[in-house]
Copies of this chain bind each other. A is one copy, B any other.
Amino acid sequence: MIDSKHLDYFKEVVGEENIRADKAHLIAYCYDATKERFEPDAVIFPRDEQDVSKILKYCNEHKIVIVPRGAGSGFTGGALPSNGGIILSLERHMNKLLEIDMENMVGVVQPGLINMEFQKAVEEVGLFYPPDPASEQYSTLGGNVSENAGGMRAAKYGITKDYVVALRAVLPSGEIITAGKKTIKDVAGYNTAGILIASEGTLAVITEITLKLIPKPKYKQTYMGVFPDVNKAMNAVFKSLANGANPVAMEFLDTLVIKALKKKFPQVALPENAGGILVGDVDGSSQAEIDSQLETLKESFANFGSTDFVIAKDEEESAKLWFARRNASPATAIYGTKKLNEDISVPRAKLPEALDGIYKIGEKYGFNVPCFGHAGDGNIHVNVMVKDKTNEKEMKDGHKAIEEIFQFVVDLEGTLSGEHGIGLSKAPFMSIAFNEAELNLFRSIKKAFDPNNILNPFKMGL
């Protein structure tokens, strides 16, 4: 518990205006995108790295729990103070774009900067930062790094970890470290940046991020492939990619999602016979490159039974094609009052088998399980739709179905999470995915960074 002596010290460090312990603030910082709620004991808004360092050093000495937080948009409770303690909120002051280094093609940012603000700033100077999680309008880059966020463009451009060149971070001891350099190659010392990415705020507080930028592709065009069923669409995914197609995105909608979209959004223009849809963009440095990409996709899709291949002629047509994908999540609400959604990931070639098995598990328990997501990288958003969330038996069955899906996915060489992380929500399932040696190693790594277990403790099942 935090007493007034502690609060006095924190006030001294950050100034009275940057610490809050009133009920309104505790409630304002008790949530994320899960339905869980945990009030912290106080919220601190550090002004800079020195503040972070002083706060951590003090908390470490006094064994006070501290939970770093960006926008609180996470899906698995990573930023929730489930064991009380202090929320270290990085979005108020530590949200600056520090530098766009055109010559070395990197951007240097503070962790609280919002993803989309960064994207816009770099695109203004002709550069490009590909990672675009669905939360890009409000999630912070610090959160993106801590969860290793993915996004629509991962099929071609990879995920957050592929763009982190260097980090500055504060250890629980208060010591400041840098991990990585602005250089492209650096093999001196252990790759601590590599382990800080996706560590969900459990190892250190990231205070500065250097991100790789690439030239902004000059041309972009949207395509949509329509298939009679999901299985054909899923086969077309990996076989078209293995044939040399390299789309920016290859998103998919299954039969249930298509049905839901038509019902909920009558204006959506989807073919009558669509049982599975693949939609995405291709990009490149010339129209010829785009055309050749579209041709490869069209041919490959046709080989796997596509009934239609649409190419958007302009921005407006592109927006129409994307409309269905962007509204997939709200549309699924027609199937129930509670959505148990997970973001499993499998090797791409296992997609047909994965979808098939997921539907069977749903049927067994009597659930509709509409699926959509990032087929191009094997990442599926699975939605177990509970019809009546007040029905205890149904909710229990829903959770049983989810656990069965996890086990099934791991047996397919897949993983519990493609982009949302483990946090609190998936912590109970860690033993499905990892053996005792692996879990013990995670605990040893945690201890190496945070011997007093003050930093976001007990997350990730640790």
* A residues in contact (CB < 8 Å) with B: 101-106, 147-148, 150, 154-155, 158-159, 161-162, 171, 173, 175-179, 181-192, 194-195, 197-199, 215, 238-239, 241-242, 244, 246, 285-286, 288-289, 292, 345-349, 374, 377-379, 413-422, 426, 430, 433-435, 437-438, 440-442, 444-449, 460
Contacts and interface: CB of A to CB of B under 8 A. Distances in A.
Name the residue in A246, A416, A444, A460 with the highest tally of chain B Cβ atoms < 10 Å from its Cβ: A444
8 contacts: A103-B242, A177-B441, A183-B377, A184-B345, A185-B419, A187-B415, A188-B430, A194-B197
B104 A347 contact: yes
Given A185-B159, A188-B430, A418-B187, A104 B349 contact: yes
Contacts of A444: 448-449
A347 B435 CA distance: 40
A447 B448 contact: yes
Contact of A441 (B162, B181, B192, B379): B192
Contacts of A446: 190
A197 B180 CA distance: 14
A374 B45 CA distance: 44
Copies in the complex: 2
Nearest to A185: B418
A61 B418 CA distance: 38
A192 B215 CA distance: 31
A434 B177 CA distance: 9
Given A288-B286, A414-B181, A433-B188, A241 B419 contact: no
Contact of A191 (B106, B190, B194, B430): B194
A184 B376 CA distance: 9
Given A187-B420, A195-B194, A445-B448, A182 B347 contact: yes
A349 B161 CA distance: 23
Contacts of A349: 101, 103-104
A85 to B, nearest CB: 22
B435 A177 contact: yes
A286 B285 contact: no
Which among A101, A179, A448 has the greatest number of chain B C-beta atoms within 10 A? A448
A79 to B, nearest CB: 15
B190 A199 contact: yes
Nearest to A146: B187
B185 A103 contact: no
B378 A189 contact: no
Given A104-B349, A188-B415, 15 more contacts: A103-B238, A103-B349, A161-B191, A161-B194, A177-B435, A177-B437, A181-B414, A183-B346, A184-B378, A185-B379, A185-B419, A188-B430, A190-B198, A191-B195, A191-B198
A374 B460 CA distance: 40
Contacts of A101: 347, 349
A131 to B, nearest CB: 11
A189 B442 contact: yes
Given A191-B161, A286-B292, A441-B449, A238 B104 contact: yes
Contacts of A190: 195, 198-199, 441-442, 445-446, 460
A182 B437 contact: no
The 10 closest A-B pairs by CB, nearest first: A194-B194, A103-B349, A175-B437, A185-B418, A444-B448, A184-B377, A182-B347, A448-B448, A186-B415, A188-B416
A345 B438 contact: no
Contacts of A155: 184
A250 to B, nearest CB: 12
Contacts of A417: 186-188
B103 A348 contact: yes
Contacts of A244: 215, 285
A54 to B, nearest CB: 15
